Amino acid sequence: MSEEGMGNRNGAPAKLLVVDDEQGIRDMLSYELGLRGYQVATADNGADALEEIKKDKFRLVISDVKMAGMDGLQLLEAVKKSAPDVEVIMSTGYGTIEMAVSAMKKGAYDFIQKPFDLEELLALIEKALEKNELRSMLGVYEASKAVMSSIKLHELLPLLAKLSARVLKADGACIMLLSPEGKLGVAAVHGRDGEEYRAYALALGERAAGKASPGAEPVLINGPLEDVAEFAGITGLRDVSSSMVYPLAMGGKVLGVLTVDRAGRGDLFTASDLRYAAVFCSHLSLAINNAALFRELEKRLEEIQRMQSRLIHSEKMAAIGQLAAGIAHEINNPLAGIMGFAEMLLKDGGLAAQQREDVETIYQQSMRCGNIVRNLLLFSRRKNGKETAVNVLPVLDAALQLSAFELEGAGIKVSKAFQENLPAVMCDPAQLEQVFLNLIMNARQAMDGKTGAELKLLASSCGGDIVLRFEDNGRGISPESIGKVFDPFFTTSTEGKGTGLGLSISSGIIQQCEGTISAESRPGEGAAFIVTLPAFKEKGDGTI
Percent of the chain whose pLDDT exceeds 70 = 79
- Asked if residue 347 and residue 474 are part of one domain, the reply reads no
Looking at residue 226, its pLDDT comes to 65
Residue 539 included in any domain: no
Closest by CA to 257, choosing from 172, 187, 158, 166, is: 187
What pLDDT was estimated at residue 225?
A: 67
The residue that leads in pLDDT, 3 or 470, is 470
Per-residue confidence (pLDDT) for residue 95, from 0 to 100: 62
pLDDT band at 10 (very low <50, low <70, confident <90, very high): very low
* DSSP string for residues in 224-285: -GGGSGGGTT----TTEEEEEEEEEEETTEEEEEEEEEEESSS----HHHHHHHHHHHHHHH
pLDDT, mean of residues 97-114: 78
Number of domains in the chain: 4
Angstrom distance (rounded) from CA 222 to CA 364: 93
Query: Picking from 7-11, 211-215, 232-236, 243-247, which range would have the lowest pLDDT averaged per residue?
Result: 7-11
Question: What pLDDT is recorded for position 294?
Answer: 78
- Out of 98-102, 158-162, 303-307, 416-420, the most confident range is 416-420
For residue 216, pLDDT beyond 80 = no
pLDDT at 456 over 80: yes
Average pLDDT over residues 515-531: 90
Q: Which residue type sits at 353?
A: A
Confidence check: pLDDT of 181 > 60: yes
Assign 7 a pLDDT band (cuts: 50, 70, 90).
very low
Predicted confidence (pLDDT) at residue 300 exceeds the cutoff of 50: yes
Domain of 292, CATH number, reads 3.30.450.40
**Which of the pair, 64 or 7, is modelled with greater confidence?**
64
Amino acid at 301: L
Among 353, 381, 409, the domain boundary falls at: 381
Query: Residues 6 or more apart from 172 whose CB is under 8 A from it?
Result: 165, 189, 190, 191, 192, 197, 201, 260, 261
Is the pLDDT reported for residue 435 higher than 70? yes
Are 319 and 430 members of one domain?
A: no
pLDDT of residue 364: 81
- pTM for the predicted model, two decimal places: 0.43
Tell me what pLDDT residue 497 has. 53
Lowest-confidence range among 126-130, 192-196, 437-441, 491-495?
Answer: 491-495
Structural domain contains residue 544:
no
Task: Give a yes or no: residue 204 inside a domain.
Answer: yes
Name residue 154's amino acid.
H
359 and 393 share a domain?
A: no
Domain end (from 361, 381, 401) = 381
Cβ count within 10 A of residue 163: 22
Between 94 and 141, residue with greater pLDDT:
94
pLDDT at 396: 94
**Residue 535: its pLDDT value, please?**
92
Q: Does 69 map to a domain? A: yes
- CA–CA distances in Å: residue 441 to residues 404, 406, 502, 515: 10, 8, 9, 21
Question: Does residue 159 sit in the same domain as residue 111?
Answer: no
Q: Could you tell me the CATH number of the domain that includes residue 461?
A: 3.30.565.10
380: CB partners within 8 A, 6+ apart: 321, 322, 324, 325, 328
**pLDDT one-digit tens code per residue, 340-386:** 888 888 887 778 888 888 888 888 888 777 766 766 666 555 555 56
Residues 494 and 366 in one domain: no
Question: Which candidate, 88, 73, 170, places its Cα nearest to that of 131?
Answer: 88
Indicate the range of 119-123, 276-280, 496-500 predicted with least confidence: 496-500
pLDDT score recorded for residue 429: 87
Structural domain that includes position 54:
3-136
pLDDT at 270 over 90: no
pLDDT of residue 539: 52
Question: Is 335 a domain residue?
Answer: yes
Strand partners, 535: 425
pLDDT of residue 459: 95
Dihedral sign computed on CA atoms, order 358, 359, 360, 364: positive
Q: Is the Cα dihedral 406, 410, 411, 416 positive or negative?
A: negative
Residue 542 lies in a domain: no
Residues belonging to the chain: 544
Question: What is the spatial distance between Cα 532 and Cα 425, in angstroms, rounded to a whole number?
Answer: 10
Mean pLDDT for all residues in the chain: 80
Which pLDDT band holds residue 469 (cuts at 50, 70, 90)? very high
Out of 117-126, 166-175, 225-234, 519-528, pick the least confident. Answer: 225-234
Q: How far apart are the first and last CA of the chain?
A: 88
**3-state DSSP: the chain helix, strand, coil percent, rounded to 5?**
50, 20, 30
Whether 214 is in a domain gets the answer: yes
pLDDT single digits (tens) 490-513: 676 554 455 566 788 788 888 888
d(CA 179, CA 267): 34
| Residue 15 and residue 81 in one domain | yes
Same domain, 166 and 127: no
CATH of the domain at 328: 1.10.287
Rounded CA-CA distance 506/511 in Å is 9
Whether 353 is covered by a domain: the verdict is yes
Same structural domain, 402 and 530: yes
240 and 172 in a single domain? The answer is: yes
Q: Which of 207, 161, 209, 166 is nearest to 186 (CA)?
A: 161
Q: Within this chain, do residues 343 and 393 fall inside the same structural domain, yes or no? A: no
More confident residue, 48 or 283: 48
| Confidence label for 324 from pLDDT (cuts 50, 70 and 90) | low
pLDDT at 203: 82
Q: Mean pLDDT highest for which of 51-60, 116-125, 469-478?
A: 469-478
Which pLDDT value is given to residue 68?
85
Looking at the fold, whether 177 and 276 belong to one and the same domain comes out as yes
Per the model's pLDDT, the better-predicted residue between 531 and 236 turns out to be: 531
Domain check: are 294 and 314 in the same one?
Answer: no
CATH code: domain of residue 57: 3.40.50.2300
Nearest Cα residue to 260 out of 207, 216, 200: 200
Order of strands, edge to edge, in the sheet holding 465-472? 413-418, 454-462, 465-472, 526-534, 516-522
Q: Is the pLDDT of residue 243 over 80?
A: yes
Pick the last residue of a domain from 381, 402, 437: 381
Give me the pLDDT at residue 530, please.
Answer: 95
Asked if 476 and 467 count as a contact pair (C-beta separation under 8 A), the reply is no
Mean pLDDT (whole number) for 459-471 = 93
Q: Examine the pLDDT at 210 and tell me if it is beyond 80.
A: no
